[in-house]
Amino acid sequence: MTVVSCSVDERYVNPLFEVFDGGDFVLTSYRDVEETSATMQIFLPDPADAPRAAAALAAAGRIVGLELVPETGAIPDEDWKLSYRKHFKTEVISPRLVVRPPWEAVTPAPGQKVLTLDPGIAFGTGQHPTTRACLDAIDALAVEGTDRSFLDVGCGSGILSIAAALEGFRDVHGFDNDPDAVRNANENAEANGLGALFSDGDLSVPGVAAPADVVAANVLAPVLVRFAREVGALVNPGGRLILSGILDEQYDEVRAAYAALGFTELSNRLIGEWRTGLFAK
């Protein structure tokens, strides 16, 4: 198995996933808990695809301001099939929710829901600070009450919506402008005993989704600012809005954009270099 890879600062992982356009190439990442950098990887059955994959990864880097120089190597097929597993372990989000990869067995505590997610096909695993902060916010809102609809803007792997559905929110739905993400999200939803929760959608399209009582948008800060009015319109009056994917130095701009629309910040949380905010409409 051929692998094209490069190391990046951990804060650039999410932006690279957002802008990567490699056609059939699937971008993955991992970070050793003892390291501050992450490794971006593209696994290729055909070595002849390596130059195109490297070019696609370098192009994504330029968009986010990095000059990446991807390296090409090879690993045994059996090692490739199992290598990513060592980086993903069961994670207890709260007494009500635990996220596990399918190769780990979990005995849930009474009342605890188990979310199964295979990061080998996912666009989000729960281990990135922005995803974790969103999961924590969803869990806290579930304690307040789940008789509320839920919408996931830029659903990625679907982890946030699946968590919301498992915790009892109603009318759960998500959308993404990447058809591959939507397909993978629905596969993940079905693996958790849920129906298809996700559809193709773009914030630039009016009426992309019905408004909801709780809306999560874990996307890049420039997108949150540019489409603030569109995102804000997706939140029902009196509802809650979770905004994430925001570097700490970008947060004030995002907060100001939504304050101008009448949103009130209830709290914010910093994990590493990423800040997540909870707002009320």
Residues 58 and 153 in one domain: no
Residues 206 and 249 in one domain: yes
What is the domain count for the chain? Answer: 2
Do the beta carbons of residue 25 and residue 55 sit within 8 Å?
A: no
Residues 238 and 128 in one domain: yes
Residues 148 and 93 in one domain: yes
Residues 74 and 104 in one domain: no
Residues 94 and 80 in one domain: no
Residues 70 and 139 in one domain: no
At 152, which CATH number?
Answer: 3.40.50.150
Give residue 213's pLDDT: 98
Residues 124 and 62 in one domain: no
Domain stop point among 46, 62, 84 = 84
Give residue 81's pLDDT: 54
Domain stop point among 31, 64, 84 = 84
Residues 163 and 269 in one domain: yes
CA distances (Å), origin 279, targets 94, 148, 230: 21, 16, 15
Domain stop point among 19, 52, 84 = 84
Residues 151 and 51 in one domain: no
Domain coverage including residue 32: 2-84
Residues 93 and 154 in one domain: yes
Give residue 160's pLDDT: 95
Do the beta carbons of residue 210 and residue 191 sit within 8 Å?
A: no
At 23, which CATH number?
Answer: 3.30.70.120
In angstroms, the CA 244 to CA 257 distance is 14
Do the beta carbons of residue 93 and residue 62 sit within 8 Å?
A: no
Do the beta carbons of residue 99 and residue 159 sit within 8 Å?
A: yes
Residues 170 and 220 in one domain: yes
| pLDDT digits (tens), the chain, 281 positions | 899 999 999 888 888 988 888 787 888 887 765 566 889 989 888 999 999 999 999 999 999 999 999 999 987 765 555 666 666 778 888 888 999 888 888 888 898 999 998 755 545 566 678 888 999 999 999 999 999 999 999 998 899 999 999 999 999 999 998 888 898 899 999 999 998 899 999 999 989 999 999 999 999 899 999 999 999 999 999 999 999 999 999 999 999 999 999 999 999 999 888 999 999 99
